[in-house]
Structure 1
């Protein structure tokens, strides 16, 4: 099995002790960037990341809200999922979220730098968290697998809306990304085929409201046959654990969507920027 190299797509993490506010606490930012601390500290790295964001989004970044993501931030989430820890010189990758572009959820990934996680994988995990709209851009100044980037993307959404995503929801979504990254890195299945498999399984599990582990395992196995995807029994178990975790926090996901909708509807300062951000 190949060792996963997380050239660390970095980004954000759960800030311990924060609670979900009833509404927006301060002015909402329609565009937010999270920079890895290594990238932000290196002018050439930051320039390369900014160049990607500008070319892809056509935005003027001068007045865009920024956050720096540290190794401590990343370790808070990676340590609970993979057990890995990172130093301050490993935090590279960055994300930009544009909520002005909110007709649907889109993710643009710098494929020259992000080597494993695809845009469809990010979209799937974000939708499972209750995020339905906005345009997300992900890049890194060096090669990175991309699994840690989801935390930073979520951080962008929190900064933009001033509403905290429940920790249980973050953990489930990040677990999904890490699990898929590990399978892609250690097997012959393509990222696109795995993403399609996971989406099919999640749709069936959610539609049938399945929470039993063995039933989820059976559903995954059936879709591996239907989609002609060759993964190990261990991979199937890991996927089942990930999907089961998401199913078990549906209550938190639903409550989050209600709080976000209430915050948007009760805040006059949004000026329509966030309208429909989490619409189904």
Structure 2
């Protein structure tokens, strides 16, 4: 019996080793030291978090050394200031922003997707690009189920606090865009389809440079037809109004398109990364062999 326990312990150690080896490249990428040019990552915590919840979020966002990040707190007053929201809002969702070199693109990672109930990575990316956030890695987490809006406001506050304030009209429009996205998802479209639709409309605006509301309406309808999406007249008009406002703001849609293309290429690179998938495949092969050998050994 003791031998069986020893074998089980050995298998456990080997499994941990395999998992560690698979995760090592990711950990190495996250521990590259402080970027003296771009500055340390910025972490913005929701004001409603208890001390225990804040510690949990800190762990989720890989804040191992508080001295290696700048920390801020986002409050209900901030949501009123940046996007004219409710100053009594309860703020749980939090974010870590790591600035990247120009051209690196925007990368979003929802660490707790089970708790961010209304917003996907792509929805955050679209809204942040509308607000003017580019070339950054953004991690979002919450210890409880929330819509995810306070993280967006926290990101705006971080840029403001760091001396890079974003345009208020663009921030408000980004929040409206997020509202439109979540409304469309509630009305029956999948979140993925909503994100694809918003992305394709932005790319078409960059290509066609519409001058009138009628031009915007034409672009919206073209993308709805292309993606095979049927909306109520109310939802269709909501989209037209949103992008007509966007057209009138000082947004460089060519740059937005470049950032969106960059996001898509990163996803494709991961899909095509044979080295990564080979490691995953080898991990599960070794895991299966270990389990098989263990149970075989139990009966020998």
TM-score normalised by structure 1 residue count: 0.69
CA separation of 1:31 and 1:101: change in aligned 2, threshold 3 A: farther
Aligned to 2:73, what secondary structure does the other structure show?
strand
For residue 34 of structure 1, report the CA deviation from its aligned partner. 1.1
Aligned partners of 1:198 and 1:140: how far apart in 2? 25
Distance between the aligned counterparts of 1:239 and 1:146, measured in 2? 21
Q: Secondary structure at the match of 2:88?
A: coil
Contact preservation (8 Å) 2:95, 2:140:
yes
Structure 1 residue runs of 5 or longer lacking an equivalent are: 1-26, 255-280
Render the CA deviation track for 1:140-186: whole Å, top value 9, x for unaligned.
Answer: 121112234322222223334x121121221222221122122212x
Q: Which residue number in structure 2 is paired with residue 142 of structure 1?
A: 144
Structure 1 equivalent of residue 94 of structure 2: 94
1:34 matched to 2:44? The reply is yes
Change (3 A) 1:159 1:31: farther
Give the CA deviation at 1:199: 0.9
Q: State the secondary structure of the residue aligned to 2:43.
A: strand
Paired with 1:202 and 1:100, the residues of 2 have a C-alpha distance of: 23
1: distance between equivalents of 2:141 and 2:133? 20
d(CA) in 2 for partners of 1:247 and 1:212?
9
Q: Which has the higher contact order (CA 8 A, sep 6+)?
A: 1
The 1:104–1:122 alpha-carbon spacing in structure 2 relative to 1, beyond 3 Å, is: same
Q: 1:61 aligns with which of 66, 88, 105?
A: 66
SS at match of 1:176: helix
Partner of 1:250, secondary structure, is: coil
Tell me whether 1:198 sits opposite 2:203 in the alignment: no
- 1:246 and 2:246 aligned: yes
Within 5 A, what are the aligned runs for 1:181-196? 181-185=182-186, 187-196=187-196
SS at the partner of 1:204? helix
User: 1:67 is paired with a residue of what secondary structure?
Assistant: strand
Q: 1:203 to 1:28 in 2, by over 3 A?
A: closer
Higher helix share: 2
* Uncovered stretches (5+) of structure 2, i.e. residues with no partner: 1-36, 254-300
Deviations 1:67-93 (CA, angstroms, capped at 9, x unpaired): 1111122134554xxxx63526x2111
Question: Between Structure 1 and Structure 2, whose CA radius of gyration is higher?
Answer: 2
In the other structure, the counterpart of 1:220 is 220
Q: Could you say what secondary structure the match of 1:188 adopts?
A: coil
From 145, 150, 153, the equivalent of 1:151 is 153
| Counterpart Cα distance in 2 of 1:228 and 1:86 | 40
Q: Deviations over 1:13-34 (max 9, x none)?
A: xxxxxxxxxxxxxx97431111
Equivalent in 121, 125, 130 of residue 128 of structure 1? 130
Distance in 1 separating the partners of 2:190 and 2:60? 25
Q: How many residues in Structure 1 have an aligned counterpart in Structure 2?
A: 216
Judging changes above 3 Å, is the alpha-carbon distance between structure 1 residues 100 and 199 closer, same or farther for their aligned structure 2 residues? closer
Distance in 2 (alpha carbons) for counterparts of 1:167 and 1:210: 23
User: Matched residues in 2 for 1:134 and 1:144: separation?
Assistant: 23
